Amino acid sequence: MSAAILVRVQTADFDVGAELARLEALGGGGVASFTGVVRGGGGLEALELEHHPGITETMMARIAGEAAARWPLLGVTAIHRHGRLLPGQRIVLAAAASPHRAAALEATSFLIDWLKTRAPFWKKEHFADGTSRWVEARAEDDAAAARWEGGGARTGETAER
């Protein structure tokens, strides 16, 4: 199965409905997605996302390609924003289309786990009191990403009806 891979790094917002419609149109039985949103609270005023412009898209494409190699996918989409984002705004979209719902959902989970640990983005929190702080990497994210180290996929065999 050859997957249509779409990867984008941008400052602009993205249209989740339009992105998922593109995946729905590939003819599979299902499309899974995860959208990350800036959480407010704690006096957070804005989140600043820095990235390594020279290699970000290459690494995101590699992660998407890895998902397509592990699961029977018709399409994979990974979009990540950078720059200054406000609470409630979208940060990232990971999505996958497949004839098998388990494959679509597991691939989406894999995509977001690896984007969090293998794509060169860094978050800085800016607070209303004028202070700011780099977000620290979390051991929990490394553990989530490590679940997929084995290289396997646990996909059902039968397509959706």
Partner 1 sequence: MAIELLYFARIREAIGRSAETVSPPAEVATVAALVDWLAARGGGYAEAFADRARVRAAIGDGFVGPDAPIAGAREIALFPPVTGG
The CB-of-9 to its own copies minimum distance in angstroms stands at 19
Q: Decide: 73 and 103 in contact? Cβ < 8 Å.
A: yes
CA–CA distance, 70 with 65 (Å, rounded to integer): 9
Burial of 103-136, coded b for 16+ CB within 10 Å and e otherwise, reads bbbbbbbbbbbbbbbebebebebbeeeeeeeeee
Does 70 sit near partner 1 (CB under 8 A)?
no
By CB under 8 A, name the one of 4, 14, 22, 36 that touches partner 1.
36
Does 12 sit near its own copies (CB under 8 A)?
no
By CB under 8 A, name the one of 7, 71, 76, 99 that touches its own copies.
99
CA–CA distance, 143 with 7 (Å, rounded to integer): 24
Site stretch for its own copies (CB under 8 A), options 4-12, 49-57, 64-72, 82-90 = 82-90
CA–CA distance, 148 with 123 (Å, rounded to integer): 24
| Closer Cβ to its own copies, 42 or 54, answer by number | 42
| Closer Cβ to partner 1, 2 or 56, answer by number | 56
Does 2 sit near its own copies (CB under 8 A)?
no
Which are the contacts of 81, defined by CB distance < 8 A and separation ≥ 6? 9, 10, 11, 12, 13, 14, 49, 89, 90, 91, 92
Site stretch for partner 1 (CB under 8 A), options 19-27, 65-73, 130-138, 151-159 = 130-138
Residues touching its own copies, count (CB under 8 A)? 45
Q: Which positions touch partner 1 (CB under 8 A)?
A: 36, 49-52, 54-55, 58-59, 80, 91-92, 112, 115-124, 134-137, 141, 161
